[in-house]
Amino acid sequence: MESLFDRHSGLLQDALKANETRGFWSPFPEVPSGKIYGETARADAGADFNALLGRPFVLPGHPESRRVGAEVSPWGPELGIGYPAADSAALLAASASAAAEWAASAPETRVGICLEILTRLNRASFLLGNAVMHTTGQAFPMAFQAGGPHAQDRGLEAVAVAYAEMTRAPREALWEKPQGKAAPIVLEKHWRVVPRGIALVIGCNTFPTWNSYPGLFASLATGNTVIVKPHPAAVLPLALTVRAAREVLAEAGFDPNVLLLAADEAGAEVTAGLVRAPEVAIIDFTGSNAFGDWIRANAGEALVFTEEAGVNSIVVAATGDFAGMCANIAFSLSLYSGQMCTAPQDIFVPVDGIETDEGRKSLDEVAAGIAAAVDALLADPARAVAVCGAIANPATLDRVAAARHLGRIVRDSAPLPEGRSATPLILAVDAAETSAHEEERFGPISFIVAVRDAEAGIAVAAELARRKGAITAALYDTDEGRIARAADEFARAGANLSVNLTGGIYVNQSAAFSDYHVTGANPAGNASLTDAAFIAGRFRLAMWRRPRAA
């Protein structure tokens, strides 16, 4: 019988090559098209999604002492889904009991299973799109892309790196040491991959699959059992993921408890108990710096990988395409209402204005140009809803309201006709007068920050990235020397820099197999998706050796 590893070996080889060359590649089409996913895929997924609502979520064989679930779509309806829940001790016991067989399986077996899971998740992308849309508030096209194919890409990238790392050293070697004229000493040596233990993946509200898949699949492929702890407001996308994975695990003859769902409810989270458990040997976390600090302080000996918060900046120094720049920035500010960890917050502009293809523009003209581009982008309400989506967490609306007094309002935020929504609030401040822009203000809040000149803007933005963390940075400039210096400064600050983006590519975007997401070199996180450091420590190599039999 064809093994799962053999079945997907072409996919794996392509992913390995893509990871090495880092050009564009994606095996999972990002277009929610019936031509690709099947003409009835959209309708079927809608029906499947509706069938999940208001019912218990079925996870055969999963530990369960009660049902939990209080998801409410940012687009309106309560989901009413009850997930199986168990206390942390029961989850840890079930995970431990599934561990030995999983750890003893061959890396190829585990990699084959992971690839099969990802392939099935890809086929379920429309359903996952619905689930992500109604838990995160992303509009459907983005929920499909980011929650489906792009998340699957990130998962596949992690599996490919895991395979590369597990197979970097040979499994056997003959060690033959010369002894002058005497016979050599000959040892046969055998190595095996030993996983660390139980891995905990803590998901976030805004990108439940995209941010969880790398850690989940990295730990699974390297032989650890995994407990996925979703955000209480975004359980469904990970519950569907766990269900698909458990089906593949069971079909392959493994205890499905190799992968568990730690569903809980706001105010009664199981997270702390899991983080503190000595059996938990790896933690992948996406969320706030404050909870990241708590995890580091309480995680004991576990390896901890995080993606936390930061303040992303754009420096506007000069441009040869003022309209293109304003439109590009407008889209970056508007997309999913600034709820991306890659979205810019601060736009540093020289107080004396900039040179452009439309002549010199004052600081106010730059601010007005960006604001007008946002207005133009969002002029059509249907398009505005499709770009901005809805606000995942009601607290973000409060944050937008509270932010209005932090500077001069260049563009005010407003609700859209659908969902819990807020268009971009743009404030103007002077870096010499305030540090309001230096705090992360999650959501559709941005600042046009006056700085002395372009060099000051680069220096201030890089320093802010170093101090507060930043995942992305952007620069608009026409001076090659300054671009090179900015590349140096942002590299030292650990922020990936995009220069002169116009048209259909945005600073927010991070592509699997090419962009490493998060450098790990500033407080925005220590994980980098997906470099060797994110993978190599998830397993160890153990050897046995003996003299070669005569």
Residue 15 touches a second copy, criterion: CB under 8 A: no
Instruction: Indicate the residue among 17 and 66 with the shorter CB distance to a second copy.
Output: 17
Residue 357 touches a second copy, criterion: CB under 8 A: no
Residue 106 touches a second copy, criterion: CB under 8 A: no
Provide CB contacts within 8 A for 346, sequence distance 6+. Answer: 311, 312, 313, 314, 437, 446, 447, 449, 461, 464
Dihedral class, residue 494 (left if φ above 0, else alpha if ψ from -120 to 50, else beta): left
CB of 222 to a second copy, least distance (A): 11
Residue 544 touches a second copy, criterion: CB under 8 A: yes
CB of 319 to a second copy, least distance (A): 12
- Kind and range of the H or E element at 186? strand 182-195
Q: What is the DSSP letter of 415?
A: -
Instruction: Indicate the residue among 290 and 432 with the shorter CB distance to a second copy.
Output: 290
Stretch that binds a second copy, among 129-137, 229-237, 246-254, 531-539 (CB under 8 A): 531-539
CB of 415 to a second copy, least distance (A): 33
Judge contact between 548 and 185, C-beta under 8 A.
no
Q: Which residues of 511-547 are buried (b: 16+ CB within 10 A; e: fewer)?
A: bbbbebbbbbbbbbbbbbbbbeebbbebbeeeeeeee
Judge contact between 71 and 81, C-beta under 8 A.
yes
Give the x-and-dash track for 268-307 against a second copy (CB under 8 A). ----------------------------x----x------
**Separation of alpha carbons 325 and 191, rounded Å:** 54
Kindly give the interhelix angle for 236-251 and 213-221, rounded to the nearest 10 degrees: 20
CB of 281 to a second copy, least distance (A): 10
Residue 516 touches a second copy, criterion: CB under 8 A: yes
CB of 176 to a second copy, least distance (A): 5
Position of tokens 């650890």?
Answer: 224
Per-residue tokens: 59: 């996870």
CB of 339 to a second copy, least distance (A): 23
Number of residues that bind a second copy (CB under 8 A): 68
Position of tokens 């809805």?
Answer: 390
**Separation of alpha carbons 372 and 378, rounded Å:** 10
Where in 188-227 is the site for a second copy (CB under 8 A)?
Answer: 189-192, 194, 196
Stretch that binds a second copy, among 58-66, 415-423, 427-435, 537-545 (CB under 8 A): 537-545
2, 170, 181, 267: residue in contact with a second copy (rule CB under 8 A): 170
Which residues contact a second copy (rule: CB under 8 A)? 20-24, 103-104, 165, 168-170, 173-179, 185, 187, 189-192, 194, 196, 296, 301, 483, 486-488, 490-492, 494-505, 511, 514-516, 519-521, 528, 531-533, 536-537, 540-547
